[in-house]
Structure 1
């Protein structure tokens, strides 16, 4: 007998951690449902969604690269945040058809909620990278009132991304090489301020070049957040801790975005009290 199921689609798909995460939560909650990985080529997206529309057991899917933009014209409704970001990573069947959401943005913000709940005189984030993940992160941070310095290999692309996502914001675009060399900039008193340094690029990931970031660019008390998950403890995070900064790793965003999707698929929140055990499974 068929059971309810959700899945993750992409090309490639074997590397996805989503089946492990969602399967872990389903088991903990005793929900009689499955979560699978499904390899879907770009040319097969329309046929895939057409078939799933007719499947009464299908609860939705997560969407990974390279389909996060390509699925949009195939959906019936877009959540406003997904529309603003221009990317969908979660599709669910709802009354009236298929709805597209972006859980990357709230998933990214989740480990920063205690910081964001405080009042600040000024909030600034230095965000490194201009790819798809950076779009969700910039939208999320702009929505929380942060001034953003967006760094990429092409500052014009960074500027265009900022103007697209938050046209009225007082944001700045720079060359990512700017952060590689030491600076003698004298930071003023950071009391009452929130400073973030976010690696939203693949730099520092296994098989990728290291991210060149000189710690002299980090204001005192800055929080470093690296979305890379392999390795979890990147060189950037190690250097930040050595310099006395608090750090957030990529598993925080990975688990956070999955939690928002899980609730949409299966109708209840995942058991987050088991996060430590889940992290062990993800890193073993």
Structure 2
């Protein structure tokens, strides 16, 4: 029997998730058809309600702007998603004749694996750019990476509720600071995680380049189109190590593949390799 999975978001035509998931399922021999579906936040309740009459669904990947709204459309939230209140993965789980929808967050694992494989030190000094749902996942990831604290730079310091809730939930001390003050902190950090939209860090990149930045840390830029971003290019030119957002996407998608298929150790480096090949990314070992 063929099963269904999809990535939901708006807009969604740019998503690389279909290529990643299809490559993984082909290698694993899983009969799962994976598509991209454009769903707005307003349309999400009706869309999720309609799925209750369709028994073949295995899972949903959830991207912007639906990650917070999806909290209200699942029957249970598990793992770090309970703390972050941000869901980027929905698994359809049979409970007798009833199918329950379980919310997870795999962004944290995606960030941890991507940054760790780039050579993050054991207890990094850390900076996060942006204050939304992905920034909340970055707070949890930095806790897992051994950071003692993090500075979070956002354009409106009164809108840091998500990162503050994540900080309280995982026990990582943060300071929420104006984005205009990010330059010197970014240059000195061991790990910088930018959760800004494409081109959102361009002005900061220009500031760093003009200031003669010398970087020795790791920059993860969650935006991956266009690539390289201006801040990634500035960071690399200054001697730092750059992790593209595409790599984070691959690692979090691998976690989704495990959840959608019920598999474990066989979602391994061979699966990561074919996922990398599907989007033209350099190969990494999970």
TM over 0.5: yes
Residues 235 and 23 (structure 1 numbering): CA distance in 2 closer, same or farther, change over 3 Å?
same
Residue 68 (structure 1) shift: 1.4
Q: Does 1:231 align with 2:223?
A: no
- Indicate the residue corresponding to 2:69 in structure 1: 70
Residue 204 of structure 2 aligns to a residue in which SS?
Answer: coil
Counterpart Cα distance in 2 of 1:223 and 1:209: 16
Residue 225 of structure 1 aligns to a residue in which SS?
Answer: strand
Counterpart Cα distance in 1 of 2:281 and 2:140: 31
Counterpart Cα distance in 1 of 2:198 and 2:42: 29
Residues 198 and 224, structure 1, Cα contact 8 Å, conserved in 2 = yes
- Indicate the residue corresponding to 2:236 in structure 1: 241
Counterpart Cα distance in 2 of 1:49 and 1:276: 30
Corresponding residue to 2:252 among 249, 257, 276 = 257
Residues 106 and 217 (structure 1 numbering): CA distance in 2 closer, same or farther, change over 3 Å?
farther
Give 5+ residue unaligned stretches, structure 1: 188-193
Q: Does 1:110 align with 2:113?
A: yes
Residue 99 (structure 1) shift: 0.4
Question: C-alpha deviations, 1:82-109, integer Å up to 9, x for none?
Answer: 1211111111112441100011111111
Residues 218 and 81 (structure 1 numbering): CA distance in 2 closer, same or farther, change over 3 Å?
farther
Counterpart Cα distance in 1 of 2:75 and 2:194: 33
Residues 110 and 251, structure 2, Cα contact 8 Å, conserved in 1 = yes
Residues 54 and 127 (structure 1 numbering): CA distance in 2 closer, same or farther, change over 3 Å?
same
Question: C-alpha deviations, 1:223-256, integer Å up to 9, x for none?
Answer: 1111111123222122112111111111111111
Residue 78 (structure 1) shift: 0.2
- How many residues align structurally? 266
Counterpart Cα distance in 1 of 2:245 and 2:63: 16
- Indicate the residue corresponding to 2:154 in structure 1: 152
Correspondences of 1:192-231 after superposition (within 5 Å) = 195-204=190-199, 210-213=202-205, 214=208, 221-231=216-226
Residues 89 and 100, structure 1, Cα contact 8 Å, conserved in 2 = yes
Residue 134 of structure 2 aligns to a residue in which SS?
Answer: helix
Residue 221 (structure 1) shift: 2.4
Q: Does 1:178 align with 2:210?
A: no
- Indicate the residue corresponding to 2:136 in structure 1: 135
RMSD: 2.8
TM-score by length of 2: 0.81
Residue 211 (structure 1) shift: 4.0
Residue 227 of structure 2 aligns to a residue in which SS?
Answer: coil
Residue 202 of structure 1 aligns to a residue in which SS?
Answer: coil
Residue 260 of structure 2 aligns to a residue in which SS?
Answer: helix
Residues 43 and 163 (structure 1 numbering): CA distance in 2 closer, same or farther, change over 3 Å?
closer
Counterpart Cα distance in 2 of 1:99 and 1:152: 31
Residue 148 (structure 1) shift: 0.4
Residue 15 of structure 2 aligns to a residue in which SS?
Answer: coil
- Indicate the residue corresponding to 2:49 in structure 1: 50
Give 5+ residue unaligned stretches, structure 2: none
- Indicate the residue corresponding to 1:191 in structure 2: none
- Indicate the residue corresponding to 2:101 in structure 1: 98
Q: Does 1:4 align with 2:3?
A: yes
Counterpart Cα distance in 2 of 1:163 and 1:260: 26
Residues 41 and 157 (structure 1 numbering): CA distance in 2 closer, same or farther, change over 3 Å?
closer
Question: C-alpha deviations, 1:210-229, integer Å up to 9, x for none?
Answer: 14142669785211111111
Stretch deviating more after TM superposition (255-264 or 13-22):
13-22
